[in-house]
């Protein structure tokens, strides 16, 4: 795992992370691996590919199953110096269990779930597990917009929440994962 009381061990084995018919699959498997009772896959571009601003679009079909937590997110390369959540995190897409809701959120020193002061939006998608949808984010020095299939469902403007400490002006790396637990 990594954080959030996750139950999986991430591996790069072909059973957990593979490409089939030009689609990336991340598969969770119930099995003993080190100290974990599940394995799963994760893509992490830290120290390989970074971005500062841009438009991100990822087409995905999301599983609806209790205990699964797939996510597509950005994390600051400053995490080693600043720590989390001060470094900043941008969740392009998170999905929890068997609900029909997609979440898009940010985390910062002031705004995070530990402070019960989180900022983000959500959208209901009825066919989340049966059809591919495009999950997206537009990010610049003044705002962040979240969308699904080109429909904006949340906008965060720097001027509305951040007077001084906007951690979203740094280099960020991409993570695509399926947590379990």
Annotated catalytic residues are 89, 94
State the burial class of residue 62 (Cβ atoms within 10 Å of its Cβ: 0-12, 13-18, 19+).
Answer: buried
160's enclosing H/E stretch is helix 158-161
Q: Output the CA–CA distances (angstroms, integers) from residue 145 to 3, 56, 94, 169, 181, in the order listed.
A: 26, 10, 15, 15, 29
Between CA 18 and CA 68 the distance in angstroms is: 18
CB 55 within 8 A of CB 136: yes
CB 97 within 8 A of CB 154: no
């Amino acid at each position: 795992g990594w954080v959030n009381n996750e139950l999986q061990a991430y591996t790069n084995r072909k059973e957990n992370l593979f490409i089939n018919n030009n689609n990336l699959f991340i598969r969770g498997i119930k099995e003993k691996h080190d100290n974990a009772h599940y394995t799963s896959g994760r893509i992490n571009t830290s120290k390989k590919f970074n971005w500062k601003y841009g438009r991100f679009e990822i087409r995905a079909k999301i599983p609806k199953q209790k205990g699964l937590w797939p996510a597509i997110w950005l994390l600051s390369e400053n995490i080693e110096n600043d720590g989390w959540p001060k470094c900043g995190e941008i969740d392009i897409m998170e999905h929890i269990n068997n609900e029909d809701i997609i979440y898009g959120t940010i985390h910062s020193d002031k705004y995070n779930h530990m402070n019960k002061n989180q900022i983000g939006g959500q959208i209901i998608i009825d066919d989340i597990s049966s059809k591919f949808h495009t999950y997206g984010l537009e990010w610049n020095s003044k705002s962040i917009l979240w969308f699904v299939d080109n429909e904006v469902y949340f906008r965060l403007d720097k001027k509305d929440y951040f007077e001084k400490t906007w951690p979203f002006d740094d280099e960020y790396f991409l993570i695509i994962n399926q947590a379990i637990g």
